[in-house]
């Protein structure tokens, strides 16, 4: 049976391969600050999920198009 460490090794390998190929990586379903920290540590370049915001009606999306600071900063 696979363990949490097995899953983390697979994720880190995929992120490493994508990085070496010059690709971005997007972590989905981020719901907590703890998950965001794990994603940062693993090297993901982008993230999305309820932690950043829930689905909104179209007429309330204007604020998403305003400039803002990125939450994930890629390091080389």
Interval 24-44: pLDDT, tens: 999 999 999 999 998 888 889
In a domain, 71, yes or no: no
Indicate the DSSP class of residue 47. Answer: E
In a domain, 76, yes or no: no
Indicate left, alpha or beta for 37 from its phi (over 0: left) and psi (-120 to 50: alpha): alpha
In a domain, 70, yes or no: no
Cα 5 to its chain centre, rounded Å, is 19
Q: H helices then E strands: how many in the chain?
A: 2, 2
- Angle subtended by helix axes 33-42 and 4-20, to nearest 10: 50
- Confidence label for 71 from pLDDT (cuts 50, 70 and 90): low
In a domain, 74, yes or no: no
Element (H, E) at 27: strand 26-27
Instruction: Say yes or no to pLDDT of 62 above 60.
Output: yes
Count structural domains, the chain.
1
In a domain, 73, yes or no: no
Instruction: Say yes or no to pLDDT of 2 above 80.
Output: no
The per-residue pLDDT for range 3-22, each reduced to its tens digit, is: 788 888 898 999 999 999 99
**Mean pLDDT, rounded, for 55-63:** 82
Domain range for 38 = 4-65
In a domain, 34, yes or no: yes
């Amino acid at each position: 049976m696979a363990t949490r460490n097995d899953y983390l090794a697979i994720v880190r390998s995929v992120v490493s391969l994508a990085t070496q190929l010059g690709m971005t990586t997007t972590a989905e379903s981020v719901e907590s600050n703890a998950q965001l920290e794990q994603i940062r540590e693993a090297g993901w370049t982008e993230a999305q999920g309820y932690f950043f915001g829930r689905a909104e009606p179209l007429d309330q999306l204007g604020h998403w198009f305003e400039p803002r600071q990125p939450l994930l900063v890629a390091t080389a």
